[in-house]
Every structure is written in structure tokens, then in C-alpha cells.
Structure 1
Amino acid sequence: MEYIRVTSIEDPYFAAMHQLMSLIFPPEEVLAFELWKEPIEDPDIHVYVAVKNGEVVGATEYRYYPQLRVAMTDFTIIGMMGEGIGRFLYVRRSQDLRRMQQQSGTDSIGMFAEVYRPHAVSSFKFGSVLPMHPVVRREVLSHLGYRKLDITYVHPSWDHEGKAVTELDLGFLPADEDLHQIPGALIVQFLTQYYSALPNKPKEWLEMIAELETRAEINLLPL
């Protein structure tokens, strides 16, 4: 398996990845093909595909904010079972994130990830790929050490329609296992920067940010 970075929508691997995303994720979670042009060219956004025998069988997107000392896993896609794709992507992503920390002279506090709440989603198919089932994905993240933030989470839809997506929790993987809280101000800074690419913010998101601004620390709960 190869770990290949994609930096242009003209790359055939991007078309294959976007098709895989569209098969697995709900429409409101998938940015339109043409709207990827600028984000994927951003050197701070890392999009990699897992390629086996010339076919895209998985993908992951992530970023690291050295000024905040946190990372974000945007998505992880596993296209088929029994190929070790999830482990492959996890190991290679971890190696790349360590490289970014070394280059920036920082030590990461941890990594954010949005995770579906299985009882809240309307469809359990998720492309009919069993490893992408919300229950499986949540348990995998829990095994890795992710916890959920003690907030009612909402995010703007990626279809640019400004809808509130409420079917997820915001997870956090602390670098220190004994860390049980993170500053509310850190979450506000992260989410404000992360969603700066979406101009239409639902009122529910704005209300969540306003509430976070009043809370000094946010507890990390079991996922």
C-alpha cells in the first residue's frame, strides 16, 4: 500500500477519493468537488490517499496548528475490510504529525476529531462499508484514547447552506492520558479557525461558541 499526498483536484486520485467520500458520508458532510480547489492546495491541509494496486482504498485528511499545539483529523475513510487500511492510515498520519511537531518545535496537547453519535444518525449504511459504521468508528476512536468534550456540539454543514449539523460529538485525544480538561478558550480558537472557510454559520453554532467563551475548562468524558 502507498501513502500518497493529493494537492490538486486535477489529480485522478482526488476524483477517486471524492467519489469514495460521496459513497460513505451524508451529503451535508461532503464539500462539493469544485469547492475543494483552494483547500486542497493549502500546504497546511494534509490530504493523503491509501493506494493499492492503483486503486484508492482509503484516505485521511488532517492538520496541525502549532500556535495552538493541537491537531485535527478531518476524516478517515476505509474503503474495504480485511486490508489493514485503518491501521496503515493511522500509523502514517501519526508519523507525519510527529514530523510537523518537530519542524515547528512544539509538542502537541492532543488531537480533535468529530465522531458520529450512532443513536442520532438517520442512516447506518454509510456506504455499506462495515468499518465506517458509526458504532465501529466510535469504538475505534475510544480504543485509541479519544474522549468527548462535555458540550452540546454542532457544526456548520459543509454544503455551504449554513445548516446546523447536530449528529456528532467533538472528540479529543489528549497526549497526556491524565489530562481530564481542556480550556474553553482553546476550543473556541480552534473551532473559529477551523470553520473560517465556511461563511454561513448557523445560529446554533454561534450560540455554542458564545457559551464556550463563558466556560474556563471543559471536561473530557468517556466516548
Structure 2
Amino acid sequence: MEYIRIQSIQDPLFQRMHELMGNVFPPEEVLAADKWKEPLEDEGIHVYAAVLDGEVVGATEYRYYPDMRVAMTDFTIIGRPNSGIGRFLLRKREKDIARLASASGTVAIGMFAEIYNPQQVDYGFGGVAAMNPYVRREVLSHIGYQRLDFAYVHPSWEENGEAVEGLDLCFLPEDETMTALPASLVTTFLERYYTALPNKPAAWHEMIALLKREQSIKLKPI
């Protein structure tokens, strides 16, 4: 299996990856293909495909913010069962984030991820068993992700200004004894991460305002 970076919408691997995204994610989680040009060309955004025999069987996107010392996993896709794709992507991403941190002269404190809460909203995810929200949530819990203790919404990637619910903002701390994050770190991260979506819903602004009144946000099990 190969770990290949995608940096252009003209790359044939991009179209295959985007089709895979559309098969496993709900529409509000998928940015339109023509909107990917600038993100793919951004050196700070890392999009990699897991390629097996010329086929895109998985993919992941992530970024690292040296000033905050945190990473963000935008998505992880496993497109085929019983192929070791999840483990392959996890290890490759870990090594690359460690490289990015080292190159910036920083040490990462952890990584954010938005994790579906199937008790709120249940999606079929294209019939791919490994992408079922119940399975993914338990796997991510095993890895060490914890839920940030607040009601989370995010702007729709359909860019229609709608609020997307049914997810938790979670964090994978490097220090397993960590029990909370500074609220200022969470708000700074969210405001920067969602600069790509200027049309934000009122519920998102209300959430940010509430977070700014807090000193810290507890980490809870998922």
C-alpha cells in the first residue's frame, strides 16, 4: 500500500478520493470538488490517499498549527474492509505530524477531531462497515480521543450557512493525564479552522461566545 499526497484537483487520485468521500460521508460534510483547488495547493493542508493496486482505498486529511502546538484530523476514510487501511493511515499520519512539529521546532500537545455521535444522528456511511459511526467512535476511544464537554455545532461544508449537529469535538492528548483544555485554545483553533467557511450559522457564533466565557473545557470519555 502506498501513501501518496494529493496536491491538485487535476491529479486522477483526487477524483477517486472525492468519489469515495461522497460515498461514505453525508453531503454537508463534503466540500464540492471545484472548491478543493486552493486547499490542495496549501502547503499547510495535508491530503493523502492510501493506494492499493492503483485504487484509492482510503484517505486522510490533516494539518498542524505550530503556534498552538495542535494538529487536526479533518477526515479519515476506510474504503475497503480487512485490508489494514485504518492502521496504515494512523501510523503514516502520526509520523508525518511528528515530522511537521519537529520542523517547526515545537512539540505537539495533541490532535483535534470531529467525531460523529450516533446517539444524536445515525448515518449509514455508504454501507462501509468500518465507517459506521458506532464502530469509528469506539475505535477512536481506544486510540485515546476524548470528548470536549460542550454542545458542538459546525458550519456546513455545503456553504449554505446551516449548522451541522450530531458530532462531538474531541481531542487526543499526548499527555494521557490531561483532563481539560484551555477554552482560549479551543476557540482560537475553531475560529482559525473555520475561516474557510465565512457563512457561519448563528448557532456557531453563539457556541463561540459561550466558550469565550469559560476558562477551561473538560475532557470526557467517548
Same structural fold, with TM-score higher than 0.5 when normalized by the shorter chain: yes
1:1-223 equivalences in 2 (<5 Å): 1-123=1-123, 125-223=124-222
- Report deviation, 1:43: 0.3
Gaps of 5+ in 2: none
Secondary structure (helix, strand or coil) at the match of 2:49 reads: strand
Three-state SS of the structure 2 residue aligned to 1:121 is coil
User: 3-state SS of the aligned residue for 1:171?
Assistant: strand
Alpha-carbon shift at residue 16 of structure 1 (Å)? 0.1
Cα contact 2:156–2:163 (8 A) shared by 1? yes
Q: Could you tell me the percent identity over the aligned residues?
A: 60
Cα deviation for residue 109 of structure 1 reads: 1.0
Give the Cα separation in 2 of the matches to 1:201 and 1:213. 17
TM-score (norm. length: structure 1): 0.99
C-alpha displacement of 1:120:
1.6
1:122 to partner: Cα distance: 4.2
Distance in 1 (alpha carbons) for counterparts of 2:201 and 2:166: 15
What amino acid is aligned across from residue 173 of structure 1 in structure 2? L
CA shift for structure 1 position 121: 1.6
Rounded to whole Å, the distance in 2 between the matches of 1:181 and 1:151 is 12
Amino acid at match of 1:176: D
Contact 2:122–2:133 (Cα < 8 Å) also in 1: no
Offset at residue 89 of structure 1 (A):
0.2
User: What is the distance in 2 between the residues matched to 1:120 and 1:22?
Assistant: 21
Secondary structure (helix, strand or coil) at the match of 1:28 reads helix
Deviations 1:109-166 (A, max 9, x none): 110000000122243x201000000000000110000000000000000000010001
SS of structure 2 residue aligned to 1:162: coil
The CA RMSD measured in Å over matched residues stands at 0.6
**Amino acid of the residue matched to residue 110 of structure 2?**
G
Structure 1 runs of 4+ with >3 Å offset: none
Matched positions, count: 222
